[in-house]
Amino acid sequence: MPSRINEFQHYLQDQNIKSIKKIHYKHFVTFAGDFQNPSIHVTKSRVWMLRQFYHYLTLQGHVPKNIALKLPYPKIETTVPDFLTQDELNRLINYFAGQAHDLIGLRNLVIILLLGFLGIRTSALIGINIEDVDVTSGLLWVYEKGRRHHTLILPHCVCKIVEKYLRVIRLKKGPLLITQKKKRISARTLQDVFKTSADCTGIDKKLHARLCRHTAATHLNVHSSPFLIRFYEFYSPGR
């Protein structure tokens, strides 16, 4: 709020207004929507500040009434986060499944499955340790911001891939998702994973970890499950 009041003070100085009594409704409109070409969010913040500031001035008896209450908040359109369609998610999984012949390939497939089906945050995904995974019970413990932890249920088909990945890395503890040198992956690693798949999947969207998180927030992951089950049954090591 102090920063918005300072902006209002600068506006009044530009208008050579030195008395509260000379401030009119039109000044509110110009300041909130036009002064220094504000974004719609800044405009909203300015409207809120004017209403609160003039409420205070009214209580203190400096102005007879709060004329800022007539100032409407701007309408901010709600943006729908981009996400993968069922077909796009299947193509992405299919691509990484086709690359899952070694440690890195399996790791990348695990990344896509955890992001696309559980909607895990990037930071939480990177921080998963081997001790946080119980493929026998199908449980995953994820630590979010503020040290909060969540217990997530792993689909059976995902457990099978994670189990195979664990056999390949042959580690009992430490980071789950590792580099070739057995170090924990970074955010840059995730960027590279999606970057390599962009040209091979034919998906006309900028692929990134958050896109998969948005996808998991929709019902599409439910409908994609049969595809995964068929895939894992076909490529099951026991076949």
What DSSP string describes 213-232? HHHHTSTHHHHHHHHHHHHH
Residue 172 binned pLDDT confidence (cut-offs 50, 70, 90): very high
Question: What's the CATH code, domain 86-234?
Answer: 1.10.443.10
pTM above 0.75, yes or no: no
Residue 33 pLDDT? 92
pLDDT tens for 128-171 read 999 999 999 999 998 876 667 889 889 888 999 999 999 999 99
Question: Residue 22: pLDDT above 70?
Answer: yes
> Within the chain, which residue ranges are assigned CATH 1.10.443.10?
86-234
> Are the C-beta atoms of residues 160 and 124 closer than 8 Å to each other?
no
- Nearest alpha-carbon partner for 206 in 92, 119, 97: 92
What is the rounded average pLDDT of the residues 45-65?
93
- pLDDT for res 175: 97
Please give the pLDDT value at position 81.
54
> For residues 232 and 168, what is the distance between their CA atoms, to the nearest angstrom?
17
Q: What is the average pLDDT score of the chain?
A: 84
Percent of residues, the chain, with pLDDT higher than 70: 85
pLDDT, mean of residues 80-93: 75
